[in-house]
Chain A
């Protein structure tokens, strides 16, 4: 057989093979590992029992309306602040009010801290209505309400006697609405 021809043929096939390998392949070795991660967010849930709506009638100077509430943390995250927003409407029975009755109603928030009654906040209703946004009072007053904790809070609303004629307010009524805004504690490293 023609040795030269045979040799040439072999070379050609080797060359073709090499060209195929060089040109079109993406074959590679690889390996994979899996890592799993879970991020679960907590819940911030304040419950106020009973619901806070005052409907004050038949009050006279010197009267005190007393209420008791339970602030319950029903969530999984600690509550740092409970900001209070106040709103009220006055029913002016005789349409004769020259003043805002809210200026004559004083509210005391009484907190039980270390078995002692402490007035954590005291203000007139008209002042409280004006305190919005960053000026809102914090009923927790620097304490933290942890998950599942319950805090008893007592409220007194007093129609302040000022030794002046307050007859303009005879027969009037106040509808007071309070909104509690609970906020989280600062972010921290976990």
Chain B
């Protein structure tokens, strides 16, 4: 008799603990889930140039001039806002007699429209190199369109004339010298917009 009571009480106690446990920690609820997929695909900014070498001229003398063309194209999916032309050159002084004079100060660059008429820019290579090191490289994408852009798929043909200018003085120190010029064309995206 006593045993049965105590057993019952033990069972109750166990249930009580269990229910206390059950009552304290459960979060059972109805729920539902939906999945939303989002894709952010970045566009590409891709400038291509149709030539790797534009000027390769030998045996030049004061008074000589050379006209060459190259085409820049937007091959990406994003509009190009500007194309900076960075200029950097080295001079190989054949007789070591140039002193402080720079061969690049005697080579002048003119940008022409595609019909060769209007001069849009007239700088010596020396000036262009100085502008580049001052962070003032010219934007060649503005020379041809008033939109100041190279939109996707657009092509611009750049016509250039380089002149070894006669300055009416002895330029013999540059005989046999070679100037190696690298143009680094850097294209940039436009401002962020709402899509």
Contact = CB atoms under 8 A, between A and B. Distances in A.
Interface in B161-192: 162, 164, 166, 172, 174-189
Given A31-B76, A33-B48, A33-B49, A39 B187 contact: no
A33 B172 CA distance: 35
A31 B57 contact: no
A155 to B, nearest CB: 27
Interface stretch (A41-49, A52-60, A160-168, A172-180): A41-49
A2 interface: no
A41 B47 contact: no
A4 interface: no
A43 B43 CA distance: 52
B63 interface: yes
A188 B63 contact: yes
A35 B89 CA distance: 12
A42 B56 contact: no
Nearest to A44: B175
Name B's interface SS: strand
Chain A interface size, under 10 / 10 to 19 / 20 to 34 / 35 or more: 20 to 34
B180 A41 contact: no
A188 B166 CA distance: 12
B180 A33 contact: no
Contacts of A187: 61-65, 164, 166
Contacts of A189: 64-67
A186 B63 contact: yes
Interface of B: 42-49, 51-67, 70, 72, 76, 78, 94, 103, 107, 162, 164, 166, 172, 174-189
Interface of A: 28-44, 75-77, 184-190
